[in-house]
Structure 1
Amino acid sequence: MMDMPDWCKGHAPSLEQAQVEAEHAFTRIRDSLSEAEYDEALWKKDGQVLGHGGQNLLIETFSLDDPKQAFAVLQYGMEAAASGAGRQDGARMVGCADPADSGRTTMTTFVLVHGAWHGGWCYKRVARLLRQAGHEVYTPTLTGLGERAHLMNRAIDLDTHVQDIVGVIRCEELSDVVLCGHSYGGMVITGVAEQIAAKIRSLVYLDAFVPEDGKSLFDYLPAELSGQMRDDAAQNGEGYKVTPIPAAAFAVNAQDAAWVDAMCVKQPLATFEQKLEVSGRQVPKRVYMLAVGREPSPFQQFGARFKDDQGWQFVSFACGHDVMVDQPQELAAALIAAA
């Protein structure tokens, strides 16, 4: 583990101090790796990921035991800071408490909600990275999916899944949560925010639907596609279950595609059809994360809407739809920045 610099103990560093120390740490990590390890650890963002507030990550690396993970997180922070994201006082930098922050801890609580056909399993790599960085992580599986597939029934709808996540947050007594929803999970976290907005620090939509009042997921898909899903449920899913879309259609990397296909299960049709009531409950921060490695994508409409919206932070990833599978290190770093 890397040593915490003296200037970072007990007060918030300036961005200039953080950058100087980060550059020194960057050099130490780089020199400790072989050429092959360096290539493996190198941040392969190709100019796509420049999350706002990324300078909060400049010191995150000092808490990481894995040099290659530290390398990726550190480089993300340096590049995000260089993008002009603006100085943060560093309250969430590991070990760097802001004296004006009334003793706020550096740990963040993440609740990561999966999308349709998936389960909490899809976040396993990201969850491991976040926990190694000292954060608390929950990856609940929605009713009828993943390891809870045995609970599949005709009554499951969007409300069921909203209550799944509300229940986790309430029963685990969580607060100040970073709530992330992937794909269909965007519908779910929007419903959760309607009920317990006061428990949420940040809403993160990961290549996800962001529903407006009175809209269902099907309202954001081409009529032909939603019709095909309804037909599939009628013919192959006892009238209420939709067959998973193949991983290849989501541009999942070739090495993991077979695993994702094996893990996915049928999705309750009603979760796509139920319309959500949205009053616009406010949370302190909203972030949209767009995967740009898959076209066409129904999520491009949301990326276009929020990319230049001053009320949102925007991040993009050069990969397919399942970002947590394709780019777990990059996503973990971006989630920390979104806190």
Structure 2
Amino acid sequence: MRFTWVILFFCISGCILSARERVASFQEQASLTQEPATFVIVHGAWGGSWAFKQLDSILSEQGHRVYRPSLTGQGERVHLASPEIDLYTHILDVVNTVLFEELDEIILVGHSYGGMVITGVADSIPERIARLVYLDAFVPDDGESVMTARGGGELGPERESTDGFVIPRWVNDSDPLPKDVPQSLKTFTTSVSYAHPLAMALPATYILTVDQGKRAEEDDFAFFAQRARQRGWEVVTMTADHNPQWSAVSELAEMLIKTIK
């Protein structure tokens, strides 16, 4: 009887040890699949890094590193606003963030106008980028600008240009901070270079946001989603307005985490 109990004890101990080993192995595999990523998020026109503060918090809480530079003349850098600022000023803002922070294997995210910026960044330092993510954004061909890219865009009859700046009608001086601010017209008229072979070979994801009850092909940025498909990129849709960093931030965070390959 005592011998039987001894055998039973070792069998149970072995099962427990085996189970613990399996759990440890699973946890180790999970940690490998959850390797922290480095996100660099580029905001859209008239905005600033403040627009992605909540998304930053969600991603950071899950162990990822997040950088969200404000482009020159925008956000907290509005005091630097000048009509001489062009698209390449903004491209260099992001390039220098990557270089001076010594970032590598980044997931570079561009929202709306930010798609123009990340395209130029990719053409400049493709070796630092693991993946591009265009969030309801412009996907320019080589030599295109916001003003010449087809398929809808940032500028329309509801905006006006004054003294070299584009000022959306919803921008009011009396609004409290943080808020959208005027942006240099040159940032919309400067053409971008997209010709570096390494840049053109980078993996990319396009996230098309579609308003509730609206068909994807009716969206203002559907043209650019189709261009992304033609380039062989991953294209996904989410139900949200043009600013999911506010209207669907949890879902957006999940989508960005899924881009970690």
1:204 aligns with 2:126: no
Check conservation: 2:151, 2:222, Cα contact below 8 A.
no
| Alignment equivalent of 1:232, drawn from 155, 160, 167 | 160
CA–CA distance in 1 between the matches of 2:42 and 2:167?
20
| Alignment equivalent of 2:236, drawn from 309, 315, 329 | 315
Offset from partner CA, 1:80-120 (integer Å, 9 cap, x none)? xxxxxxxxxx8432xxxxxxxxxxxx110000000001100
Check conservation: 1:209, 1:302, Cα contact below 8 A.
yes
Corresponding residue number in structure 2 for 1:287? 205
Check conservation: 2:166, 2:182, Cα contact below 8 A.
yes
Cα drift, residue 325 of structure 1: 1.1
Letter of the aligned partner of 1:128 in structure 2? S
Check conservation: 1:244, 1:267, Cα contact below 8 A.
no
Check conservation: 1:203, 1:283, Cα contact below 8 A.
no
Letter of the aligned partner of 1:315 in structure 2? V
Check conservation: 2:91, 2:118, Cα contact below 8 A.
yes
Aligned positions, number: 230
Instruction: Give TM-score scaled by structure 2 length.
Output: 0.80
| Alignment equivalent of 2:148, drawn from 219, 222, 235 | 219
Q: How does 1:234-249 map to 2 (within 5 A)?
A: 237-238=162-163, 240-244=164-168, 246=170
CA–CA distance in 2 between the matches of 1:208 and 1:224?
9
CA–CA distance in 1 between the matches of 2:140 and 2:33?
30
Secondary structure at 1:287's aligned position in 2? strand
| Alignment equivalent of 1:120, drawn from 49, 59, 69 | 49
| Alignment equivalent of 2:96, drawn from 164, 167, 178 | 167
| Alignment equivalent of 2:87, drawn from 154, 158, 183 | 158
Corresponding residue number in structure 1 for 2:10? none
Letter of the aligned partner of 1:180 in structure 2? V
CA–CA distance in 2 between the matches of 1:288 and 1:275?
21
CA–CA distance in 1 between the matches of 2:154 and 2:67?
32
Cα drift, residue 287 of structure 1: 0.3
CA–CA distance in 1 between the matches of 2:178 and 2:108?
27
| Alignment equivalent of 2:112, drawn from 183, 186, 194 | 183
Check conservation: 1:198, 1:283, Cα contact below 8 A.
no
Cα drift, residue 244 of structure 1: 2.6
Check conservation: 1:110, 1:138, Cα contact below 8 A.
yes
Cα drift, residue 314 of structure 1: 1.5
Structure with more of its chain in strand, by fraction: 2
Corresponding residue number in structure 1 for 2:37? 108
| Alignment equivalent of 1:274, drawn from 190, 193, 200 | 190
Cα drift, residue 267 of structure 1: 1.1
Instruction: Give TM-score scaled by structure 1 length.
Output: 0.62
Corresponding residue number in structure 2 for 1:79? none
Q: How does 1:32-71 map to 2 (within 5 A)?
A: none
Check conservation: 2:152, 2:220, Cα contact below 8 A.
no
Secondary structure at 1:298's aligned position in 2? coil
Indicate how the Cα distance of structure 1 residues 225 and 146 shifts in structure 2: closer, same or farther if over 3 A, else same. Answer: closer
Indicate how the Cα distance of structure 1 residues 232 and 244 shifts in structure 2: closer, same or farther if over 3 A, else same. Answer: closer
Corresponding residue number in structure 1 for 2:180? 264
1:304 aligns with 2:226: yes
CA–CA distance in 2 between the matches of 1:186 and 1:108?
20
Corresponding residue number in structure 2 for 1:70? none
Q: Structure 1 regions of 5+ residues with no counterpart? A: 13-58, 60-89, 94-105, 248-258
Check conservation: 1:200, 1:283, Cα contact below 8 A.
no
Cα drift, residue 6 of structure 1: 2.7
Letter of the aligned partner of 2:208 in structure 1? L
Letter of the aligned partner of 1:6 in structure 2? A
Letter of the aligned partner of 1:116 in structure 2? A
Indicate how the Cα distance of structure 1 residues 134 and 186 shifts in structure 2: closer, same or farther if over 3 A, else same. Answer: same
Check conservation: 2:40, 2:68, Cα contact below 8 A.
yes
CA–CA distance in 2 between the matches of 1:336 and 1:202?
12
Indicate how the Cα distance of structure 1 residues 289 and 260 shifts in structure 2: closer, same or farther if over 3 A, else same. Answer: farther
Cα drift, residue 285 of structure 1: 1.6
CA–CA distance in 2 between the matches of 1:334 and 1:178?
12
Q: Structure 2 regions of 5+ residues with no counterpart? A: 1-21
Check conservation: 1:220, 1:298, Cα contact below 8 A.
no
Offset from partner CA, 1:237-274 (integer Å, 9 cap, x none)? 32x11113649xxxxxxxxxxx9996111111100001
Offset from partner CA, 1:135-161 (integer Å, 9 cap, x none)? 100011000000000100121000000
Cα drift, residue 306 of structure 1: 3.0
Check conservation: 1:201, 1:283, Cα contact below 8 A.
no
- Aligned-residue identity in percent: 37
Corresponding residue number in structure 2 for 1:71? none
Instruction: Give the aligned CA root-mean-square deviation in angstroms.
Output: 2.8
Check conservation: 2:139, 2:227, Cα contact below 8 A.
no
Cα drift, residue 323 of structure 1: 1.2
